[in-house]
């Protein structure tokens, strides 16, 4: 089958043509993690909107710090909804160890039950 060409040069993009899904600079979309991102340059340079908002008002984040949405809404990128916290503070706020011993025990048991149910559902589907 020498010489057989499928989809040769006649099907390739011509110079200057853009694909049907091309987005212009300034476009905003929600990425797969649920964050709002904005295209800042071609061909494919994107930045998080909440980071741009924070840096426009406060400058660069210090090393070891991250931005947090105060109300948990990743679509609300207003400066009033953003706070810059250290990774240590973030861990303190989100770790299971912030709860009393009894509640930590219940959380662990609940997660164990959820894993068991998921495993049993997977085995049932096989």
- Whether the link from the prior residue into 47 is cis, omega within 30° of 0, is no
Show the beta-strand stretches assigned E in the chain.
28-30, 36-41, 45-48, 65-69, 82-86
Tell me: the pLDDT tens digits for 24-35? 899 999 999 999
Tell me: the pLDDT tens digits for 42-56? 888 999 999 999 999
Look up the pTM and report it. Answer: 0.67
**Number of alpha carbons in the 13 Å side-chain half-sphere of residue 66:** 8
Contact 84, 67 (CB under 8 A): yes
30 and 79 together in one domain: yes
Q: Containing H/E element for 121?
A: helix 101-125
What range defines the domain where residue 116 resides? 96-126
Tell me: the pLDDT tens digits for 109-126? 999 999 999 999 999 887
32 and 73 together in one domain: yes
15-29 mean pLDDT: 86
């Amino acid at each position: 089958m020498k010489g057989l060409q499928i989809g040769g040069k006649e099907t390739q993009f011509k110079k200057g043509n853009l694909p049907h899904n091309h987005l212009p600079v300034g476009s905003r979309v929600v990425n797969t993690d649920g964050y709002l991102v904005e295209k800042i340059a071609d061909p494919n340079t994107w930045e998080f909107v909440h980071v741009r908002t924070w840096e426009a008002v406060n400058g660069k984040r210090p090393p070891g710090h991250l931005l947090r949405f105060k109300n948990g809404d990743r679509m609300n990128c207003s400066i009033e909804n953003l706070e810059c916290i250290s990774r240590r503070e973030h861990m303190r706020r989100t770790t299971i160890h912030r709860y009393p011993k009894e509640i930590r025990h219940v959380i662990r048991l609940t997660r164990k039950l959820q894993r068991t149910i998921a495993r049993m559902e997977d085995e049932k589907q096989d």
